[in-house]
Homo-oligomer: A and B are copies of this chain.
């Protein structure tokens, strides 16, 4: 191989993560991230597929509009995207699957790493390590604030470790776009990328766990529905003829308050949130349009469906109150899934081997569309697990000062490597 891998010496997981951190790309715009990962994996000898073969375009939810996709594509092209793989990703087909067969027979073991960043401004405070050390997000309004940069870096570092092929069966790396919002996982499942997987594992860094620990059995993954609601009224001059207006913001404001009055459901964990409200331009026009982005979550799919039903009723009611029309669109959906004891046990054993502490089963209260993969694998007879790898952070996930303790990254690589190499292969 004469061409160097694009992002530095093979195993430097920290450097990999910092490069990704500097270049955060949100869901379905991970053109640089995915193309460079695909190129590096190919250079290492993995069999790589990218774009349409591994992602059912029609099964995606909440895809950005063409202009945003085109702008992000160009930005990636200008910022070191791998030209060998970039074209395949055009239009937001930013999924990658890489396979490597081991030197002996065995099961198909798949890891999921998610590629996307969040639409947040990253802190520029000196106490924030990425800022102080110079690898803060270079792109305003986008930030790796959930550790996915670490996930991809760990996957690539693991890929490097495994090129000796000294493991049973096949290792498959699934690089998924648009985990945030539950918009990309189901599209890769629909393309069949885990249909033949025996063991599926989705690690997540951070999760409030300190470096040096893992939680092998993260429970509490919530079902999640994400909605976009557009209220439409009628514009009018706010002073000369306010009565001719139908004020979209009043409906949107009433809906925002209403959604947040959702009661707790006894015996369940439930959540609702209106995360965005945008409407109107100037102060003297009755605004004719307002848009909400909101979500529901529950630890049970039926309860989440009931929450979604009630939210839709609230949106319709608020629209009716203020004489508006409202369109509601599902833009993200995540199901629940449970961990198989076999996976939990294998993770615990790997942790023991490398000297990492296994913490108590943890009740998360987030959502992850890793569950889409898990359900498919379990439905087809395989086993699956979702687990947390401690990486101390000074701030919670999804905040502008979130950071990963980089000491956790090599531990994560070690753990996954140990899992791969020590599989019990049924006779």
Residue ranges of A at the interface with B (Cβ–Cβ < 8 Å): 118-120, 180-181, 222, 224, 226-227, 235-245, 247, 249-250, 252-258, 260-261, 263-267, 269-271, 273-287, 290, 293-295, 297, 306, 310, 313-314, 316-323, 332, 363-367, 396-400
Question: Beyond A256-B250, A317-B319, A321-B318, is A266–B285 a contact (Cβ under 8 Å)?
Answer: no
By DSSP majority rule, is chain A's interface helix, strand, loop, or mixed?
mixed
Q: Which single residue of chain B is at the shortest CB-CB distance from A182? A: B284
- Cβ of A316 and Cβ of B322 under 8 Å apart? no
Copy tally for this chain in the complex stands at 4
Which chain B residues border A264 with CB–CB below 8 Å? 242-243, 264, 269-271
Q: Which single residue of chain B is at the shortest CB-CB distance from A118? A: B282
| Interchain nearest-CB distance for A277 vs B (Å) | 5
Determine the distance from Cα of A277 to Cα of B292 in the docked complex, in whole angstroms.
Answer: 11
- Cβ of A284 and Cβ of B275 under 8 Å apart? yes
| Interchain nearest-CB distance for A306 vs B (Å) | 8
- Cβ of A276 and Cβ of B282 under 8 Å apart? yes
Determine the distance from Cα of A273 to Cα of B222 in the docked complex, in whole angstroms.
Answer: 25
- Cβ of A181 and Cβ of B273 under 8 Å apart? no
- Cβ of B365 and Cβ of A239 under 8 Å apart? yes
Question: Beyond A253-B256, A261-B260, A273-B286, is A323–B295 a contact (Cβ under 8 Å)?
Answer: no
| Interchain nearest-CB distance for A103 vs B (Å) | 41
Determine the distance from Cα of A241 to Cα of B290 in the docked complex, in whole angstroms.
Answer: 27
| Interchain nearest-CB distance for A218 vs B (Å) | 12
Contact of A243 among B227, B263, B281 (CB under 8 A): B263
Question: Beyond A264-B270, A322-B258, is A253–B277 a contact (Cβ under 8 Å)?
Answer: yes
- Cβ of B281 and Cβ of A119 under 8 Å apart? yes
Determine the distance from Cα of A224 to Cα of B240 in the docked complex, in whole angstroms.
Answer: 13
Which chain B residues border A256 with CB–CB below 8 Å? 249-250, 253
- Cβ of A283 and Cβ of B332 under 8 Å apart? yes
Question: Beyond A238-B275, A242-B273, A283-B273, is A254–B257 a contact (Cβ under 8 Å)?
Answer: yes
Q: Closest 3 CB pairs between A and B?
A: A317-B321, A276-B280, A238-B273
Please name 24 pairs of A and B residues whose Cβ atoms are closer than 8 Å in the assembled complex, sorted by A. Answer: A118-B282, A239-B366, A240-B398, A241-B396, A242-B271, A247-B263, A249-B276, A250-B261, A252-B277, A258-B321, A261-B322, A264-B264, A264-B270, A275-B280, A276-B287, A278-B279, A280-B293, A281-B293, A282-B293, A283-B293, A284-B295, A313-B320, A317-B319, A317-B320
| Interchain nearest-CB distance for A182 vs B (Å) | 9
- Cβ of A276 and Cβ of B277 under 8 Å apart? no
Determine the distance from Cα of A399 to Cα of B306 in the docked complex, in whole angstroms.
Answer: 23
Q: Which single residue of chain B is at the shortest CB-CB distance from A146? A: B237
Contact of A283 among B290, B294, B321, B366 (CB under 8 A): B294
Contact of A400 among B235, B284, B318 (CB under 8 A): B235
Determine the distance from Cα of A285 to Cα of B276 in the docked complex, in whole angstroms.
Answer: 9
- Cβ of B282 and Cβ of A275 under 8 Å apart? yes
Determine the distance from Cα of A314 to Cα of B239 in the docked complex, in whole angstroms.
Answer: 20
- Cβ of B271 and Cβ of A238 under 8 Å apart? yes
Which chain B residues border A283 with CB–CB below 8 Å? 181, 226-227, 273-276, 293-295, 332
Question: Beyond A313-B323, A320-B320, is A367–B282 a contact (Cβ under 8 Å)?
Answer: no
Which chain B residues border A235 with CB–CB below 8 Å? 120, 398-400
Q: Which single residue of chain B is at the shortest CB-CB distance from A281? A: B119
Q: Which single residue of chain B is at the shortest CB-CB distance from A222? A: B239
Q: Which single residue of chain B is at the shortest CB-CB distance from A141? A: B281
Which chain B residues border A238 with CB–CB below 8 Å? 271, 273, 275, 295
- Cβ of B243 and Cβ of A265 under 8 Å apart? yes
- Cβ of B261 and Cβ of A396 under 8 Å apart? no
| Interchain nearest-CB distance for A256 vs B (Å) | 4
Question: Beyond A253-B256, A398-B236, is A278–B278 a contact (Cβ under 8 Å)?
Answer: yes
Q: Which single residue of chain B is at the shortest CB-CB distance from A225? A: B283
- Cβ of A245 and Cβ of B271 under 8 Å apart? no
| Interchain nearest-CB distance for A367 vs B (Å) | 7
